[in-house]
Structure 1
Amino acid sequence: MTTSTTPLVDLLRSRYSVRKFLPTPMSAADIRGVLEDAQTSPSNSNTQPWAVHVVSGAARDAISGGMLRAHEEGRTSSDFTFGYGDGLYASRAQHHGATLYEALGVARSDVEGRNDVVRDNLRFYGAPHAAFLFMPLLGDGVRTAGDIGMYAQTFLLSLTARGFHGIPQTILGMYADVVREVLGVPEELKLLFGISFGTADPAAKVNELRMHRLPMEQSVVFHDEPAWGRG
């Protein structure tokens, strides 16, 4: 029976989402290394459907500015529907929001404070880089989106392994038209979400936040349970 951990297990359990970055850019070699790692991700029939646009500098600033203007004008342009229903998953999302706002010191009644949190999202939490994950709409899109999710996880783990951090942000996908216009991305590619990434700010209290994960037993059902402890 295996009792010791491996570097991969340590890596998996040390990854977390950063919500305050230092402005220091990563080197081109480091970014390329992360992207090459992510390129090894599995996909359905090896279709490798990810189309990834990485922005830094002026391109990053142009997209952030466009999203902020759209937000202030109440304009969104999601390529996919969004919601949690009204049951279990909505409850989990609400708990996540309450935990985050509490960590940020933003009261439920503080409308402007909550709006500032949204703006911070659209500024990439100060990260010097962001990756936008586009996909072709094949069939109903579900399998393709699953492939993009595996790509994103590999991307995030590679960042962590190299001493950097990232955060996947659904909200960035809510301004797909802004991103497409700035980057010249064709309409047939749909924006699923974005990842802000760089170096975590070690002095930011919000980066001490670790979100709760459910016990495995609440997500997994065993059939013909393996004989743990035998052999």
Structure 2
Amino acid sequence: MTDPTFADVVRTRCSTRHFLATAVDPRQIQGILEDAQRAPSNCNTQPWQVHIVSGRSREAVSEAMLEAADRQAYSPDFSWDDAAYTGVLGERRQEQGKTYYQALGIAKDDREARVKAWRDNLRFFGAPHAAFLFMPEVGDGVRVASDIGMYAQTFLLSLTSRGLVGVPQTLLGMFADPVREVLGIGSEMKLLFGISFGYEDVSGLSARVRMERAPLAESVQFHD
């Protein structure tokens, strides 16, 4: 069996929301982190601070986020506004949500089932590991956040190349305070988002969900 090409890895990577409980070999995780460390960054500043949770620390963080969610005690370090996504961006958001909930067999008006599915985010969708991506405050944060994005993509592609899967979760960033408290992280480090990762549970109801991408003409313009 031949190794996958770069194109294979890019085109097969997907955001998985059903995981097996099987832990990933620590040597594999080390290799993924070494790959991700090669990500580009502004002036090679490498501003990412990554905290991997597994085992008891994973459970403690999950419990803390769920407890905060019960109290609606959200503590995002960065603003989030659903209504800010207008036009085609809003349409794509709605289509993703519709496709996912339909795959789970959850009706639009089934609020109880939707809340349960939402809370699965805070259980890492059953993944045995999660990476929390923190960043320092530098200016308006845009440059550093873009560096974290490049790190995250490299991390996700490394997972795919090794037969593993992951899902970036903005929602984990909505609970920055309890995550910092459990992990002993100072308030000067800001939580951007997290990535749950491990082995895919292919029997999961959403395992076959694959979101389409917009045609290049909607995103790219050529100038001669």
2:117 alignment partner AA: V
Q: How do 1:196-211 and structure 2 match up within 5 A?
A: 196-211=196-211
Q: 1:89 offset after TM fit, Å?
A: 1.5
Q: Matches of residues 30-41 of structure 1 in structure 2 within 5 Å?
A: 30-41=28-39
- Give the whole-Å Cα distance in 2 for the aligned partners of 1:200 and 1:96: 20
Shift of 1:75: 1.1
Please give the alpha-carbon distance, in whole angstroms, between the structure 1 residues aligned to 2:67 and 2:109: 24
Cα RMSD of the aligned pairs, angstroms, is 1.0
Task: Provide the secondary structure at the position in 2 that maps to 1:40.
Answer: coil
2:66 maps to what in 1? 68
Secondary structure at 2:207's aligned position in 1?
A: helix
CA distance in 2, matches of 1:203, 1:96: 20
Paired with 2:96 and 2:205, the residues of 1 have a C-alpha distance of 17
Q: Specify which of 49, 68, 71 is matched with residue 51 of structure 1.
A: 49
Aligned counterpart, 2:80: 82
Which residue pairs with 1:157 in the alignment?
A: 157
For normalisation by structure 1, the TM-score amounts to 0.93
Give the residue type in structure 2 aligned to 1:10: D
- In structure 1, how many angstroms separate the alpha carbons of the residues matched to 2:66 and 2:91? 28
The aligned counterpart of 1:122 is 122
Gaps of 5+ in 2: none
* Distance in 1 separating the partners of 2:171 and 2:132: 11
Aligned equivalent of 1:229 = none
- Residue deviations 1:68-111, cap 9 Å, x none? 11111111100000124133322211111111111111111011
Q: Distance in 2 between matches of 1:63 and 1:183?
A: 8
Question: 1-side partners of 2:81 and 2:99: how far apart?
Answer: 19
- Matched with 1:16 is 14
SS at match of 1:208: coil
The alignment covers a number of residue pairs equal to 219
| Alpha-carbon distance in structure 1 between the residues aligned to 2:79 and 2:205 | 33
Residue matched to 1:181: 181
Structure 2 Cα separation of the partners of residues 205 and 20 of structure 1 = 8
Match of 2:143?
143
Normalised by the length of structure 2, the TM-score is: 0.96
Q: Which amino acid aligns with 1:99?
A: T
Q: Which has more radius of gyration?
A: 1
